[in-house]
């Protein structure tokens, strides 16, 4: 075994081998993969080998498509058969709600280049002869569906990587990992030590234990998973003989089942409700090529549905039940990327669909390691989407929930209950008492809307029980004054003698003067967005940044990567140390003026001013800005004072008719103004020109901010896309995001977010289209629940286009 390597990959499952292959293909061949046993010795060897392109996140779906297309290439490169059978498949709906969901999947496929087609139950039965069409209301055909040989694929990656110069050491167990003072990593094994610049944790079933070697508690948990294989079935033999083809794959969402042909019989797997975690605290190191005891009672309810939906199963015997463990992150998507605070330590774990996702994970991680950027929008898989709050018990609750809902519908207004409430702010009970219906962002409870007694969310793809109430909350703001909780923003404090110069390099905006704020896009080297913040200059007190709450870890990783070593700049994520309230509406100033002794007149405290003031008895930092697009204030307050500030504002607001509003009303309000947000409109695949943030980029400033050259080039060339707001002729449903935008009969763009703008009484969609058509007045349509609705670009904001309210 070599003593030094550029990269050590820990784990020879399908994921580790894919990372090895991709690094070698991109030119990093001084790479060694260490496997404690034979390759495939974790969850890989007993997988059912199914693969498909469908994923709830379109960016992950793209990487799944990449993975499936890669198999031919690695087979050719390695000379190792992968056993790929691209049979195609049917996705089955037994309810109308499921069919609505499937129509959304078909629609997304249109701009992802995934060919999906809605078919009737009878057409589905012609393709998949075992199903009873009477049990279903509709189906979708997917041609890019199939299965493969898990061991063949893993060895094909490894052999192809070896041919390119990478190495594999089997029976080499990593026992410890130590960071040297010079930043290199000592990877200590049972056969000696390798010193490496980079370490990749692809430990699969042992990813948690490998993480613990460097003090990291990864939010992953293994679950037991069962599938059965039947005896040979005459129906299968008859179909094979008649058509010369295999029986195609089927996913029966309402039965929570997946099926495919396995030799002369069938394989049926299920994600059962009564699921069971495996090795909750510690994966045993002596677990090898073993299977777990099957428990047929646990999967019996799903099998019952299966036998009804696929009657031929009633006449056949079960040859074998496989029960094996594999790992999940709380939301079921992989954990990939560099780990904050551990330079050179990378993870590629929690991959629950290794044969659909392994290639994409390897591609993204190798790009990231070599180029400094994953080269795709992989937010849904980024390890930074979790923070310390994703504890072991939280992960346990969430993974179990996710497993049991693997094939369940999640409606756009549906909040999942497991692992909650976890983080709450001091006003939580006060807002609950007013009817707050809670959602969650980055582990923190956030009020979505306020329900009258006896009313709650009815889950639906269409406008639902909150519609009238959200309309009232919107009217409270636009007609008077509303208060909302905004603690879920990420807040950062930047100090140190070189803080200003550092911010000038990190952020693309011009730095504001003391007591002022500005909108601050942050770019990557390639000129694309990596953040958007409100930046405030607090004078002697340093700088304050407010940004997307879900991206706190993501942004801290970026900030810390760029901090000078000499301690001249310090940045702290304030998290729960600072809570927030916001008041907005034409009477917001009256309320603030009554609650404070500071001068908040327009002359003394104009739009984008920021300053310290007491609200009631509570010391606060108040900025005059509001995402509602109205006259408004964001109020930052230490948690021990949040209740006092809230009570002071509510008391002062009483005479002005103050009311509470939640994030759903805020969404409706920002749609009046065409405002975008991080994670929806602003993501790392868009440039500032494309995203409409160009006007906040100070191209002319002296500082050579990160991404300046690339952003200037984009500006000269004009980029490819434009973000646009559309008014949709919708009836009873509004967009939620990821719907296709049609132009002249072809899909040309996609929706990033939207909803109903109650004040303007318009259904609004925001999304990207090619710049060539971005100023067309006619010809757009937006697809909603399988139906195309006419849409028109709304270039000027629907509300306060001349900023009279906001700046008054
Ligand atoms: C019953 C069942 C059916 C499944 N069906 C499918 C399916 O149809 N389609 C699909 O895509 N996925 C399926 N999966 C999931 C699939 O198996 C996983 O997504 C995949 O195996 C994950 O691969 P991995 O490389 O991340 O982890 P693993 O396969 O667990 O590999 C990790 C490797 O790391 C090694 N390792 C760990 N720690 C160390 C150390 N300290 N030193 C050295 N080596 C170490 C282990 O020995 C192991 O070989 C199924 C899983 C099960 C259990």
Give the pLDDT confidence of 700-742 residue by residue, as tens digits. Answer: 999 999 999 999 999 999 999 999 999 999 999 999 999 999 9
Q: Whole-angstrom Cα distance, residue 515 to residue 498?
A: 19
Answer yes or no: is pLDDT of 55 > 90.
no
CA-angle at 14, arms to 231 and 174, nearest 5°: 125
> Which two tokens mark 776?
């067309």
d(CA 361, ligand 1 centre) in Å: 14
- Give first-to-last CA distance, the chain, whole Å: 71
Q: Which of these, 679, 667, 725, 690, lies nearest to 531 by C-alpha position? A: 679
Write out the E strands in 78-133. Answer: 89-93, 116-119
Q: What is the 292 CA–ligand 1 centroid distance (Å)?
A: 15
Average pLDDT over residues 533-538: 98
Query: Which residues, at least 6 apart from 562, have a Cβ–Cβ distance to it below 8 Å?
Result: 502, 505, 506, 706
Confidence (pLDDT) at 732: 93
Residue 54 above 90 pLDDT? no
Reading the block at residue 390, the tokens are: 């994703």
| Nearest ligand 1 atom, CA 39 | 49
- Average pLDDT of span 690-699: 97
Q: Calculate mean pLDDT across residues 640-645.
A: 98
If pLDDT is split at 50, 70 and 90, which confidence band does 113 have?
Answer: confident
Task: Copy the structure tokens of residue 763.
Answer: 């259904």
Distance between CA atoms of residues 325 and 332, nearest Å: 14
φ, ψ for residue 281, nearest 5 deg = -110, -30
Rounded to the nearest angstrom, the distance between the alpha carbon of 536 and the centre of ligand 1 is 47
Please name the residue whose Cα sits nearest to atom 27 of ligand 1: 204
* Cα 385 to ligand 1 centroid, rounded to whole Å: 22
Q: Taking 90 as the threshold, does the pLDDT of residue 409 lie above it? A: no
- Cα–Cα distance, 510 to 518 (Å, whole number): 8
User: CA 681, 686, 690, 693: dihedral to nearest 10 degrees?
Assistant: 60
Q: Which CA distances in Å does 355 have to 379, 384, 594?
A: 20, 23, 62
Ligand 1 pocket: which of 1, 9, 10, 11 to mutate (most atoms within 8 A of CB): 11
User: What average pLDDT score do residues 608-626 get?
Assistant: 98
Lining residues, ligand 1, CB within 6 Å: 10-16, 34-37, 41-44, 46-51, 173-174, 202-206, 210, 225, 227, 322, 324-326, 349, 351-356
Rounded-to-integer distance, Cα 798 and Cα 576, Å: 35
Q: What is the pLDDT of residues 344-399, one digit of tens each?
A: 999 999 999 999 999 999 999 999 999 999 999 999 999 999 999 999 999 999 99
Give nearest CA residue, ligand 1 atom 1. Answer: 324
**What is the full DSSP assignment across 478-539?**
HHT-EEEE-TTSEEEEEESTTHHHHHHHHBSSPPPPTTBEEEEEEE-TTS-EEEEEEEEE-G
Rounded CA-CA distance 793/359 in Å is 38
Q: Please write the tens of the pLDDT for every residue from 173-185.
A: 999 999 999 999 9
Tell me the best of 205, 272, 286, 347 to mutate to test the pocket of ligand 1, counting ligand atoms within 8 Å of each CB and taking the most: 205
* Number of alpha helices (DSSP H) and beta strands (DSSP E) in the chain: 19, 38
Of the candidates 733, 801, 727, 796, the one whose C-alpha atom is nearest the C-alpha of residue 766 is 727
Q: Is the pLDDT of residue 777 over 90?
A: no
Predicted local confidence at residue 405, as pLDDT: 94
Q: What is the Å distance from ligand 1's center to 230 Cα?
A: 24
pTM to 2 decimal places: 0.97
Instruction: Report the C-alpha gap between 104 and 99 in whole angstroms.
Output: 9
- The rounded distance, in Å, linking the Cα atoms of 320 and 311 is 19
| d(CA 397, ligand 1 centre) in Å | 22
Q: Binning pLDDT at 50, 70 and 90, where does residue 56 land?
A: confident
Tell me how far apart the alpha carbons of residues 266 and 231 are, in angstroms, rounded to a whole number: 8
Mean pLDDT value of segment 733-753: 96
Residue 803: Cβ within 10 Å count = 12
Percent of the chain with pLDDT over 90: 95
Is residue 196 within 8 A of residue 61, CB to CB? The reply is no
d(CA 4, CA 13): 22
Measured by CA distance, the residue closest to atom 25 of ligand 1 is: 13
* Helix residue spans in 201-291 (DSSP H): 207-212, 234-243
326 C-alpha to center of ligand 1: Å? 6
What burial letters (b/e) apply to 510-541, b meaning 16+ CB within 10 Å?
Answer: bbbeeebbbbbbbbbebbbbbbbbbbbbbeee
- Residue closest by Cα to atom 35 of ligand 1: 11
- 275: tokens are 């699921």
CA–CA separation, 182 and 292 (whole Å) = 44
Q: How far apart are CA 716 and CA 719, in angstroms?
A: 8
**What pLDDT does residue 398 have?**
98
Spatial distance between the Cα atoms of 622 and 624, rounded to a whole number of angstroms = 7
Residues forming beta bridges with residue 620, ordered by sequence position: 613, 637
Closest CA to 787 of 729, 738, 737: 729
State how far the Cα of 789 lies from the Cα of 780, in Å rounded to an integer: 8
Listed residue (412, 555, 422) closest to 492, CA to CA: 555
What pLDDT does residue 786 have? 86
Residue of 9, 43, 50, 187 best suited for mutating to test ligand 1, as the one with most atoms within 8 Å of CB? 43
pLDDT(270) > 90: yes
Could you give the CA distance from residue 100 to residue 459 in angstroms, rounded to a whole number?
13
Q: Are 609 and 517 in contact (CB under 8 A)?
A: yes
Q: How far is the CA of 423 from the centre of ligand 1 (A)?
A: 32
Q: Distance from the CA of 53 to the center of ligand 1, in angstroms?
A: 19
Rounded to whole angstroms, the Cα distance separating 448 from 436 reads 7
pLDDT by residue (tens digit) across 666-683? 999 999 999 999 999 999
Alpha-carbon span 217 to 105, nearest angstrom = 34
Higher model confidence: residue 255 or residue 162? 162
Q: For residues 532 and 554, is the Cβ–Cβ distance under 8 A?
A: no
85 strand-pairing partners? 147
Q: Is the pLDDT of residue 289 over 90?
A: no
Helix (H) / strand (E) element for 476: namely helix 467-479
- In SS3 terms, 281-318 reads as CCCCCCCCCCCCCCCHHHHHHHHHHHHHHCHHHHHCCE
pLDDT tens for 717-728 read 999 999 999 999
pLDDT at position 39, please? 97
* Ligand 1 nearest-atom number relative to CA 326: 53
CA of 44 relative to ligand 1 center, distance in Å: 4
pLDDT level of residue 341 (50, 70, 90 thresholds):
very high
3-state secondary structure of 93: strand
Give the distance (Å) from ligand 1 centre to CA of residue 43. Answer: 3
Residue 191 Cα to ligand 1 middle (Å): 23
Structure tokens at 554: 């993501």
* CB contact at 8 A, 261 and 354: no
Q: How many CA atoms lie within 13 A of 500 on its CB side?
A: 13
For residues 38-59, b (16+ Cβ closer than 10 Å) or e, as one string? ebbbbbbbbbbbbbbbbbbbbb
CA 630/CA 802 separation, integer angstroms: 12
- Taking only the tens place, the pLDDT of each residue in 218-237 is 999 999 999 999 999 999 99
What pLDDT score does 727 carry? 98
Residue of the CA atom closest to atom 26 of ligand 1: 204
Taking CB atoms within 8 Å and a gap of at least 24, the contacts of 52-55 are 52/89, 52/142, 52/144, 52/145, 52/146, 52/249, 52/251, 52/356, 53/109, 53/112, 53/114, 53/142, 53/144, 53/145, 53/356, 54/91, 54/105, 54/114, 54/142, 55/356
pLDDT per position as a tens digit, 120-161: 999 999 999 999 999 999 999 999 899 999 999 999 999 999
Using most ligand atoms within 8 A of CB, pick from 18, 67, 154, 206 the residue to mutate for ligand 1. Answer: 206
* Alpha-carbon gap, residue 807 to 800, rounded angstroms: 10
Best residue among 17, 21, 44, 218 to mutate for probing ligand 1's pocket (most ligand atoms within 8 Å of CB) is 44
């Amino acid at each position: 075994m070599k003593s030094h390597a550029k990269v050590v990959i820990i784990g020879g499952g399908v994921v580790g081998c894919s990372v090895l292959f991709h690094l070698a293909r991109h030119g990093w061949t001084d790479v060694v993969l260490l496997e404690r046993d034979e390759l495939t010795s974790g969850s890989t060897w007993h997988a059912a080998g199914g693969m498909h392109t469908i994923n709830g996140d379109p960016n992950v779906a793209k990487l799944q498509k990449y993975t499936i297309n890669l198999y031919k290439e690695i087979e050719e490169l390695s000379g190792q058969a992968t056993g790929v059978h691209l049979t195609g498949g049917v996705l089955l709906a037994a309810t109308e709600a499921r069919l609505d969901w499937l129509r959304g999947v078909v629609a997304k496929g249109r701009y992802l280049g995934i060919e999906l087609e809605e078919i009737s139950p009878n057409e589905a039965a012609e393709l998949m002869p075992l199903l009873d069409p009477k049990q279903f209301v509709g189906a979708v055909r997917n041609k890019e569906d199939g299965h493969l040989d898990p061991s063949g694929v893993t060895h094909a990656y490894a052999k192809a990587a070896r041919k390119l110069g990478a190495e594999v050491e089997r029976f080499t167990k990593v026992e410890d990992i130590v960071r040297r003072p010079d930043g290199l990593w000592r990877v200590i094994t049972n056969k000696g030590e390798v010193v490496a610049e980079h370490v990749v944790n692809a430990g699969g079933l042992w990813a948690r234990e490998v993480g613990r070697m460097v003090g990291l508690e990864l939010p992953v948990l293994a679950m037991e998973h069962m599938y059965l294989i039947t005896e040979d079935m005459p129906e299968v033999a008859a179909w094979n003989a008649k058509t010369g083809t295999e029986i195609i794959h089927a996913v029966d969402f309402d039965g929570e089942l997946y099926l495919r042909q396995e030799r002369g019989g069938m394989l049926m797997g299920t994600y059962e409700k009564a699921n069971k975690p495996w090795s909750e605290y510690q994966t045993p190191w002596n677990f090898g090529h073993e299977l777990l005891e099957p428990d047929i009672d646990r999967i019996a309810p799903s099998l019952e549905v299966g036998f009804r939906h696929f009657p031929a199963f009633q006449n056949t015997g079960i040859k074998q039940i496989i029960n094996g463990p594999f790992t999940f992150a709380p939301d079921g998507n992989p954990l990939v990327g560099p780990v904050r605070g551990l330079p050179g330590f990378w993870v590629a774990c929690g991959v629950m669909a290794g044969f659909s996702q392994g290639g994409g994970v390897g591609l993204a991680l190798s790009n990231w390691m070599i180029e400094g950027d994953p080269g795709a929008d992989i937010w849904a898989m980024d390890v930074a989407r979790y923070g310390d709050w994703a504890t072991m018990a939280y992960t346990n609750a969430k993974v179990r929930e996710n497993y049991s809902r693997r094939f369940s519908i999640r409606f756009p207004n549906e909040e999942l209950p497991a692992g909650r409430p976890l983080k709450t702010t001091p006003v939580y009970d006060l807002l609950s008492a007013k009817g707050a219906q809670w959602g969650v962002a980055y582990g923190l409870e956030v009020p979505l809307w306020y329900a009258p007694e006896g009313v709650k969310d009815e889950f639906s793809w269409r406008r639902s029980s909150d519609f009238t109430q959200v309309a009232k909350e919107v009217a409270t703001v636009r007609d008077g004054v509303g208060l909302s909780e905004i603690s879920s923003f990420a807040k950062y404090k930047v100090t140190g003698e070189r803080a200003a110069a550092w911010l000038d390099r990190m952020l693309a905006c011009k730095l504001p003067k003391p007591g002022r704020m500005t909108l601050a896009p942050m770019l990557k080297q390639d000129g694309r967005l990596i953040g958007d913040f409100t930046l405030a200059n607090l004078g002697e007190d340093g700088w304050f940044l407010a940004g997307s709450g879900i991206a706190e870890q993501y942004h801290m990783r970026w900030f810390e990567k760029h901090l000078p070593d000499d301690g001249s700049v310090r940045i702290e994520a304030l998290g729960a140390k600072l809570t927030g309230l916001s008041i907005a509406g034409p009477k917001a100033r009256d309320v603030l003026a009554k609650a404070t002794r500071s001068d908040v007149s327009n002359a003394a405290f104009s739009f984008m001013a920021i300053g310290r003031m007491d609200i009631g008895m509570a010391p606060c930092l108040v900025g005059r800005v509001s995402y509602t697009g109205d006259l408004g204030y964001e109020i930052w307050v230490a948690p021990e004072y949040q209740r006092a500030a809230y009570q002071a504002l509510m008391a002062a607001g009483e005479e002005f008719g103050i009311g509470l509003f939640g994030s759903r009303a805020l969404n409706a309000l920002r749609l009046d103004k065409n405002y975008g947000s991080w994670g929806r409109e602003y993501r790392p695949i868009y440039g500032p020109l494309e995203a409409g943030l160009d006007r906040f980029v100070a191209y002319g400033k002296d500082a050579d901010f990160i991404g300046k050259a690339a952003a200037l080039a984009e500006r000269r060339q004009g980029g490819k896309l434009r973000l646009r707001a559309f008014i949709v002729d919708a009836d009873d449903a509004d967009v939620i995001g990821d719907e296709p935008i049609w132009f002249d009969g072809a899909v040309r763009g996609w929706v990033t977010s939207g909803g109903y703008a109650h004040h303007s009484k318009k259904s609004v969609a925001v999304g990207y289209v090619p710049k060539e058509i971005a100023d067309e007045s006619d010809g757009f349509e937006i697809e909603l629940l399988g139906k195309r609705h006419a849409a028109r670009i709304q270039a000027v904001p629907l509300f306060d286009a001349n900023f009279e309210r906001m700046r008054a």
